[in-house]
Chains A and B, each alone.
Chain A
Amino acid sequence: MRKIDLPMSRETIESLKAYDRILLSGEILVGRDQVHARLAALINEGKPLPISLEGEVIYYMAPAATPPSFVIGSCGPTTSARMDPFTPTLMGAGLVASIGKGPRSQAVVEAVKANKGLYLVAFGGCGALYATKVLSKEVIAFEDLGPEAVMRLKVEEFPVIVGIDSRGASVF
């Protein structure tokens, strides 16, 4: 299993192929449904974003409550398809990769290819396992969304499978 540090270089992204199993270490953004709707609306209106998406990887997730001796609670991926309508817009604003579970729309496959990005598949339902891969978390925007707020996570050896590669090859 290949280990990859974040942020990823162009060469690293282009060297990855669909079905590759990788372990990510570094920083990722966290955001899901409401965050996507808000960010896409701001981008479409030409307004500034509360966070920069340039070169970022976003993880579709909202964690469960944090037990005392943990950095984060159970924190597996949510269904990516719900973010499909917004992903091309976010990739247009600099996002390079997304992490979620399940298949994506054809529009997302094309956006990943056009932006030479990636779609990474995390293991659905494996929240207890992912909780052990997070070193730190910080809420950085849209705090009013509660568990759905935008966070920045520092992760170590976070396991994913390449779902759509930069050439547009998909596992689904």
Chain B
Amino acid sequence: MRRRVAQIGALVAVTAIVILSIVPSRSISSLVARLPFGDKGAHFIAYGVASWLLVFSFGLNYSTLIFIATSLLGLLIEVIQPHFGRSFDIWDLVVNCTGALFGVLLGVVYLKNEEKKMGKSKQRGLVDKIRQTLLEAAIHLEDGLMERLEWMRFELSQKLPSLAPQQVASYQASIEVLEMIQANLKLSEENKIPMCQDTGMIVAFVEVGSDVPLSMQAIEEAIYEGSELAIKEGFFRNSVVEEPVFERINTRTNLPPIIYWSTSKERHLKISLLLKGFGSENCSGLAMLNPTSGPQGVVKAVAEMVQRAGGKPCPPIVVGVGLGGTAERAGYLSKKALLRPVNSVHPDGRFAQLEREILDAIQALEIGPGGFGGHLTALGVAVEYEPTHIAGLPVAASISCWADRKGEFIWEGPYA
């Protein structure tokens, strides 16, 4: 709308310049005399207004071209004026060009400023999305996980009557763990306080599509700001220290978050967020297997990591497995795997089968909820893979407690 008005205005202004420049000077001299600086003032204002309107009409990208075009118009008119009973005046030409330059600069400054403000308001929308997603993740688990918890409680309870006497106490304790978790989740949602005091480190996976109207810096700023708001508003714990070895001073903000960037084939921005608790993170691991180890090697490596973890990571657990890449890439993939819905399966049948085999191997460890024992320990296993080197088979496992807190959203900007 504004662009249309500016285009009409620019057309009127240019037409006026042309007409007023070639009509006999007597008819306009009285009008011109009233303007500041008389004739020169008129030139300056006319070319200034015209080029200013042109910048609004065609945008910042054309500003240089607009300056050149209006200056050429000024030159052309001065050249043809003698044919219409007017005179060529070099000073008129200088003022025409100066006016054009002034108008273009004014337009550019205005539009640049507006662009900056608009970027800020787009960023605000993103900040709020991040804040909401984190607040929700701290008090609410995905439906699939709730179902799996109830499934596990039911399965263990069903086993009770057929157990050997020495196993009963162990199963009863495990069932109680699940019942407490369910009661806790209800209280967390009702009272709007985090389900677990370890609200973790915030891990963000950012996928930038082709039409995202924000810079990486603006996205990063939004992640920091959205996190800060959620941490305060959601009564999270400040669990982050500045440096891992010596003083370990608490940052008292729970920041920084960990941010992973990638591009995507989509147009939009997608952000996935994890609240990664450290009781379970401490049990995560990496194995650099031989390239010939095959699926059995992978199953064995992950089962060994889970066995070492035992009752420490707040079982029942969710396990993300990253295969391939390099050592650190496998670790990244194992975190990414934790983002998948707990009841999803890998689209590639071979990897779906591998997920089932790893799950079975973990259940066979009989760690049980809380580590009290029982034939069920894991709520789900997700595998993600990427190409790797001929000499290796990196296997990373990220272990999450039952509180596999996550959220994601697609953001197309406020104008979508």
Contact = CB atoms under 8 A, between A and B. Distances in A.
Give the secondary structure class of A's interface: loop
Interface string A134-171: 00000000000111100000000001010000000001
Interface stretch (B8-16, B55-63, B98-106, B166-174): B166-174
B165 to A, nearest CB: 12
Contacts of A124: 177, 279, 314, 370, 401
B235 A171 contact: no
B263 interface: no
Question: Which of A19, A129, A132 is the most central at the interface, judged by chain B CB atoms within 10 Å of its CB?
Answer: A129
Contacts of B248: 34
Which bracket fits the contact residues of B?
A: 35 or more
A81 B313 CA distance: 11
A92 interface: no
Contacts of A48: none
B267 interface: no
Interface residues of A, number: 41
Interface in A87-109: 101-103
Given A73-B235, A123-B180, A128-B191, A103 B197 contact: no
A103 B196 contact: no
A126 B184 contact: yes
Interface string B273-297: 0000101001000000000000000
Given A21-B173, A132-B187, A79 B282 contact: yes
A98 to B, nearest CB: 15
Contacts of A147: 237-239, 250
Contacts of B236: 64-65
A52 to B, nearest CB: 26
A21 B176 contact: yes
B312 A81 contact: yes
Interface string B288-317: 000000000000000000000011111000
A132 to B, nearest CB: 6
Given A63-B197, A146-B252, A127 B371 contact: no
Contact of B372 (A64, A73, A74, A171): A171
A149 B312 CA distance: 23
Highest count of chain A CB atoms <10 Å: which of B176, B193, B248: B193
A129 B282 contact: no
B238 A102 contact: no
B197 A73 contact: yes
B241 to A, nearest CB: 10
A79 B312 contact: yes
B183 interface: yes
A61 B195 CA distance: 14
B334 interface: no
A73 B193 contact: yes
A62 interface: yes
A123 B184 contact: yes
A121 interface: yes
Nearest to A21: B176
A66 B372 contact: no
Nearest to A18: B169
Interface of B: 139, 169-170, 172-173, 176-177, 180-181, 183-185, 187-188, 191-199, 232, 235-239, 248, 250, 252, 277, 279, 282, 310-314, 370-373, 401-403
27 contacts: A19-B169, A19-B173, A21-B173, A62-B239, A64-B194, A64-B197, A70-B193, A73-B194, A73-B235, A74-B195, A76-B184, A79-B312, A102-B310, A102-B311, A103-B311, A121-B370, A124-B314, A125-B181, A125-B314, A126-B183, A126-B196, A127-B195, A127-B196, A128-B185, A131-B187, A132-B191, A172-B371
A-B pairs with lowest CB-CB distance, top 10? A124-B314, A128-B188, A64-B237, A19-B169, A126-B184, A127-B197, A129-B184, A74-B197, A65-B235, A102-B312
Interface of A: 18-19, 21, 34, 61-67, 70, 73-76, 78-79, 81-82, 101-103, 121, 123-129, 131-132, 145-148, 159, 161, 171-172
